[in-house]
């Protein structure tokens, strides 16, 4: 998807960095500097929103040179911009997702993610992503059209200019590093590189993290000057926000939602209906991504950040732990043996989605079980007899990391399958208790394998023997 900016992230940015004073009664009639402190005194109208949008887009020309100086990149061309109605935006999102996730593919992937435990109930992935983008995006930059669109129009010039700074940073990235090719799911397939899901998420961390970090600096800097104390303070603020769960962040924003623009209020309230498998990667790409870019910036300035667009992080582990990126630790490539039937999905979870998994099913193990990741591959196949078989092959930095993962995975099964029983590491396996077969697991040094939906440990042995880990 080419949609870039979540309203939720903008709201957090304003809470962390707002500098404008509380509005006077007079200012609240025309546009509150701080949207959290007062409600509009007169009803909003489409005409008023359109006027605010046009005024915000008119200020973009003045923002661009300041942003270019701050970011250390020149705009090659002007960035076209346009106000887009909510209805037109919804239609755009629907077309984009329908193109990327046609009905049949969406059904297969939804079932696969449910089978693997990333979804707590069977829901349509395409509909979930559409809901997430429609409710959470306030503006976006489209690499295909080379254009920036404003969707939500809050009654705050500061918020509007913040959004513009974020999207204009995407325009800079696109002009210098071609986002259609850099983000494989952004392009039409002709020039995009073929990379796995986790590597794609890592690149999104960079793209969104750069725009978020630059956006924060734009708010905090004066005359394009970046002081070390500014960066240190920003890292501290981002660290606190990045460590919060979506539920915690939404709770923190609840009081502000009551006094904010109706669109923002609706956006914050809608977060509760978006599964973590969709919402967490979206939020983390901004917050954790900004921490990644900040770490790289502190190490080598903008040249080092720019170099990431040439030599990008290869995994969310590298994005979440910049020290591993700096150390040059590369993920292992895992390949699973063929299995008779129709493959519904073949994915890489990476550290980020294993965090999501354990956050859902074994929260006490979330951090320790996902760290030390070295590589993985998951596949879900519908056998000719209709049985769903999911297979997992993982590799970890050390045997101890593998053991921690295996312990956490075993613990997660009791919550996922309340009627289940047994030990997946035993010869008898773990019986799901729902008539859909058993789960078997084997730890082999720094590797852990699991298979779900079979009746015999022989199927696990076939997986272990056939999996290839480079």
324 assigned to some structural domain: no
Q: How confident is the model at residue 266 (pLDDT cuts 50, 70, 90)?
A: low
326 assigned to some structural domain: no
pLDDT of 95-145, one tens digit each? Answer: 888 888 899 999 999 999 999 999 999 999 888 888 877 776 788 999 999
Same domain? For 338 and 304 the reply is no
User: For the chain, how many residues are written?
Assistant: 470
pLDDT of the residue at 254: 58
pLDDT of the residue at 135: 72
Same domain? For 163 and 55 the reply is yes
Query: Nearest-CA neighbor of 379 among 202, 137, 197?
Result: 197
The distance from CA 141 to its chain's CA centroid, rounded to whole angstroms, is 16
Same domain? For 214 and 358 the reply is no
321 assigned to some structural domain: no
Q: Is the pLDDT assigned to residue 219 strictly greater than 90?
A: no
Same domain? For 371 and 297 the reply is no
What's the average model confidence in pLDDT over 4-17?
43
pLDDT of the residue at 185: 59
pLDDT of the residue at 317: 98
Same domain? For 275 and 368 the reply is no
Average pLDDT, the chain: 86
328 assigned to some structural domain: no
Same domain? For 365 and 429 the reply is yes
Domain boundary among 268, 284, 316: 316
> Which residue is listed with tokens 């009551």?
258
pLDDT of the residue at 299: 96
Number of domains in the chain: 2
Same domain? For 295 and 341 the reply is no
Which residues have C-beta within 8 Å of that of residue 229, sequence separation ≥ 6? none
pLDDT of 135-185, one tens digit each? Answer: 767 889 999 999 999 988 888 888 889 889 999 999 999 999 999 999 875
128 assigned to some structural domain: yes
For residue 228, give its domain range. 5-316
Q: Is the pLDDT assigned to residue 319 strictly greater than 90?
A: yes
pLDDT of the residue at 255: 58
Same domain? For 151 and 236 the reply is yes
DSSP state of 328: T
Q: Is the pLDDT assigned to residue 35 strictly greater than 50?
A: no
Same domain? For 149 and 48 the reply is yes
74 assigned to some structural domain: yes
The two beta strands, 373-382 and 342-347, are antiparallel
pLDDT of the residue at 28: 36
Least confident of 3-7, 206-210, 216-220, 425-429: 3-7
Same domain? For 113 and 146 the reply is yes
358 assigned to some structural domain: yes
71-93: buried (b, 16+ CB within 10 Å) or exposed (e) per residue? Answer: bebebeeebebebbeeeebeebb
329 assigned to some structural domain: no
Written as six digits, the tokens of 466 are 């056939």
Same domain? For 365 and 458 the reply is yes
Q: Is the pLDDT assigned to residue 7 strictly greater than 60?
A: no
pLDDT of 338-385, one tens digit each? Answer: 999 999 999 999 999 999 999 999 999 999 999 999 999 999 999 999
Q: How confident is the model at residue 31 (pLDDT cuts 50, 70, 90)?
A: very low
Same domain? For 307 and 339 the reply is no
Q: Is the pLDDT assigned to residue 332 strictly greater than 80?
A: yes
pLDDT of the residue at 339: 95
Q: Is the pLDDT assigned to residue 40 strictly greater than 80?
A: no
Q: 0.75 exceeded by the pTM?
A: yes
Rounded alpha-carbon distances, angstroms, from residue 263 to 34, 162, 269, 422, 437: 15, 17, 10, 49, 46
């Amino acid at each position: 998807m080419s949609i870039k900016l979540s309203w939720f992230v903008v709201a957090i940015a304003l809470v962390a960095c707002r500098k404008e004073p509380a509005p006077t009664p007079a200012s609240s009639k025309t546009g509150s500097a701080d949207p959290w402190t007062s409600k509009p005194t007169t009803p909003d109208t489409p005409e008023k929103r359109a006027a605010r949008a046009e005024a915000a887009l008119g200020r973009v020309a003045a923002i661009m040179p300041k942003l270019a100086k701050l970011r250390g990149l020149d705009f090659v061309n002007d960035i076209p911009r346009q106000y887009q109605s909510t209805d037109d935006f919804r239609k755009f999102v629907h077309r984009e997702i329908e193109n990327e996730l046609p009905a049949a593919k969406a059904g297969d992937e939804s079932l696969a993610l449910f089978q693997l435990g990333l979804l707590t109930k069977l829901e349509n992935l395409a509909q979930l992503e559409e809901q997430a983008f429609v409710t959470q995006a306030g503006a976006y930059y489209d690499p295909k059209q080379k254009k920036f669109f404003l969707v939500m129009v809050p009654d705050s010039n500061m918020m509007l200019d913040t959004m513009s700074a974020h999207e204009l940073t995407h325009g800079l990235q696109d002009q210098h590093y071609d986002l259609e090719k850099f983000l494989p799911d952004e392009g039409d397939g002709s020039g995009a590189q073929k990379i796995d899901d986790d590597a794609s998420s890592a690149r999104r961390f960079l793209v969104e993290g750069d725009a978020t970090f630059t956006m924060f600096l734009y708010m905090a800097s004066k005359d394009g000057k970046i002081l070390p104390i500014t960066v240190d303070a920003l890292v501290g603020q981002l660290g606190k926000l990045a460590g919060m769960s979506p539920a915690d962040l939404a709770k923190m924003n609840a009081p502000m939602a009551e006094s904010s623009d109706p669109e923002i209020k609706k956006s914050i309230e809608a977060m509760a209906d978006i599964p973590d498998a969709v919402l967490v990667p979206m939020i983390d790409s901004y917050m954790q991504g900004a921490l990644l870019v900040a770490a790289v910036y502190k190490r080598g300035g903008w040249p080092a950040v720019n170099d990431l667009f040439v030599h990008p992080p290869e995994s969310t582990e590298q994005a979440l732990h910049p020290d591993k990126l700096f150390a040059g630790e590369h993920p292992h490539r895992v390949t699973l043996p063929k299995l008779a039937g129709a493959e519904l999905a073949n994915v890489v979870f990476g550290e980020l989605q294993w965090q999501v998994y354990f956050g859902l099913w074994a929260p006490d193990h979330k951090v320790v079980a996902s760290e030390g990741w070295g590589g993985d591959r998951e596949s879900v196949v519908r056998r000719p007899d209709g049985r769903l078989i999911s297979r997992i092959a993982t590799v970890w930095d050390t045997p101890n990391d593998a053991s921690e993962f295996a312990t956490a995975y075993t613990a997660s099964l009791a919550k996922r399958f309340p009627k289940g029983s047994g030990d997946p590491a035993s010869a008898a396996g773990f019986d799901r208790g729902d008539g859909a077969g058993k789960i078997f697991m084997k730890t082999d040094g720094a590797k852990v394998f699991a298979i779900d939906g079979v009746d015999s440990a022989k199927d696990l042995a076939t997986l272990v023997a056939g999996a290839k880990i480079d």
